[in-house]
Amino acid sequence: MTQNYFYSDIIEPETYNQILSEHLYIEASDRFIIEKILNFVNQSKCEYLNILDLGCGPGRITFKVLTELKKTNKNINLTALDIDLKALNFARKSDVNKEINFAECDILDFNPEHKLDIIFSQGFHHHFPKNQVKAYLDNIYRILKTDGLYLVGDEFLPEYTVENDRQIKAVIWYSHIISGALNKNFDTLAREEVKTFLDDIFADKLNNFKSDNLINFVLNQTQEINNLALNKDQNRAKVKAKELIKDPRRKQRGIRYSNRTVCFRI
């Protein structure tokens, strides 16, 4: 039976914002989101636009978007939505000018008074329970204007052709996330990210159970893979990633698994 936790249960919102601000991929994704939003707003014939930040968390990108929107000549109604009340309250307190509407709500239940011109999310999609993704996208479609814009910002992998290629690139990506948590001494987060990694790569074999032995094995490998990737030594990083994919398969034989994966909702 999976447990539902929020990120604020294991990381303070201020620290969470700091970690993401140092993330290898997030800054580029932020710039892309903001650029697309501004292009849409400036080209829109509407003088008043309704915009939603879906899964706003502690409001890190919410305020970046707001800063840029205030430079336009449009009237903006910006709503920030999340179900993590602690993170939401952190963002609410940071909104000293009270310019944002904060909504504690599940996107499955969100029903705004007016249809939205723009919906954007950053790092939200991959945390949503996989068996409910279609339902949340259906609601996005329902509450978004026909000519509206939906931007999904997330930690996407580089292009791949076959499953083995995807797994190798996923290992390098997960290694960066796990190493970042370890370097900040967020051991609980690092272990949860390892479980997510194992679910991704070995879901059909591990059946959602992971041993401490297997988790520790992955933790010990990710730092080297991440260092190789950061140093742009992709070939060696891929070799190490292949080894990591192969070895856990051997290690799982005869092991009794005891750790279920935490299901995060942000």
User: What is the rounded CA–CA span in Å between residue 263 and residue 192?
Assistant: 9
10 and 111 part of one domain? yes
pTM of the model: 0.70
Domain C-terminal end among 119, 153, 187: 153
Query: What's the structural domain count of the chain?
Result: 2
- The predicted structure's pLDDT at residue 127: 76
- The predicted structure's pLDDT at residue 261: 45
Number of Cα atoms under 13 Å in the Cβ half of residue 201: 28
What is the extent of the structural domain holding 248?
163-264
Domain C-terminal end among 135, 153, 171: 153
- The predicted structure's pLDDT at residue 258: 44
- Chunked mean pLDDT (size 10), the chain, 266 residues: 63 80 75 95 95 95 96 96 94 94 95 97 82 92 97 81 89 88 85 84 63 86 89 89 75 46 42
216, part of any domain: yes
**Mean pLDDT of the chain, nearest integer:** 84
- The predicted structure's pLDDT at residue 251: 54
- The contacts of residue 73 (CB under 8 Å, 6+ apart) are none
137 and 229 part of one domain? no
- The predicted structure's pLDDT at residue 206: 55
- The predicted structure's pLDDT at residue 262: 44
Q: 16, 84 in Cβ contact below 8 A?
A: no
For the segment 235-261, what is each residue's pLDDT rounded down to a tens digit?
999 999 998 888 565 555 444 444 444
- The predicted structure's pLDDT at residue 158: 76
79, part of any domain: yes
User: Phi and psi (nearest 5°) for 194?
Assistant: -65, -40
